[in-house]
Amino acid sequence: MTQQAVLGPFTEAAIFLVAVVSPDGENGVRELLADVPGLRRSVGFRIPEGELSCVAGIGSDLWGRIFPGGPRPAQLHPFIPLAGDRHTAVATPGDLLFHIRAHRLDLCFELAQRLTARLAGLGRVIDEVHGFRSFDERDLLGFVDGTENPEGEEASSAVTIGVEDPAFAGGSYVIVQKYLHDLTAWDGLAVEHQELIVGRTKLSDIELPDDVKPSNSHVALNTIVDENGEEREIVRFNMPFGRVSEAEFGTYFIGYASDPDVIEQMLRNMFLGSPRGNYDRILDFSTAVTGTLFFVPSLELLEGLAEPEPDTSAAEGAIAGAEGAAANGLEPDADNDDGSLGIGGLKGVST
């Protein structure tokens, strides 16, 4: 199955749209979602070097409304709010997410305009954020953001649903949160103090040694290790945003994973603490004001949403083929010429 453009490049501009769907808008929204790839092509084809992309996500409640009693992604559920001793991760509404990226804001803007025009009468956008690249991929706190993203096959494995949920293979999960920063208080700290809170050096972006990095630093609490000692990874495409006249300065967190639990564990560490009470000190300066979880269908599933029932047979067949091939000494082709993940394509392993 072909993944949506989850693993697109870092870009200079992004628009994040979160929308809710009206009670009678389900059928029209299914048609809109199926048309998202075509709308993106219509806008992006004119300026291919702009690398316009759009990832569409579907919230838990809307999925149930679109396909009542039908098949459901195994880990799709509402965002889980967290109330720590000092800070709270709030859950906010959201049926649809459109993550629009390009090297030019005008491309993002036109696609956002076309999507919202199609949404008229079916639902409404409740949160719109225009993100921008800040210098060398820094957030508004002055630190480089996204350094530890996995790359290549590791990135694909981190974000792509596979044999664990074959009907929805090629899909992903995404969690979004909008954080607002108290820059006055943050900028009042010495750089050395800021570095201890983040867990990295500010200028050179080097992770602090373990014997220096505090256990309540952002980096320490966001490093998740499984029972085998392997680090569980996600892919982030965070962007700064703001309105200077309103003294609004923020980071839009957007994290993709094949299993949302890894992001949720990060959030539990941050807001509740690990151990309890040892919360992420960055939260003393950054407040989460939104929180929503979405399922990102494969491209085939997305384009098939206009049909009465989601066609998951292709994914099931692809996974069955991949499993059978593995038993015969073959492996899935993860690098097809068409840009797909190649779950159903096979290649021989040289011996």
Q: With beta carbons less than 8 A apart as the criterion, state whether 204 and 219 touch.
A: no
* 39/21 Cα distance (integer angstroms): 19
φ, ψ of residue 189 in degrees (nearest 5): -85, 150
* 186/283 Cα distance (integer angstroms): 11
Q: With beta carbons less than 8 A apart as the criterion, state whether 293 and 78 touch.
A: yes
Per residue, what are the HEC states of 177-198? EEEEECHHHHHCCCHHHHHHHH
* 254/271 Cα distance (integer angstroms): 17
* Greatest Cα-to-Cα distance within the chain, rounded to the nearest angstrom: 64
**What one-character DSSP code corresponds to residue 143?**
S
Active-site residue identified among 145, 165, 259, 280: 145
Residue 259 is among the residues annotated as catalytic for this protein? no
- Active-site residues: which are they? 145
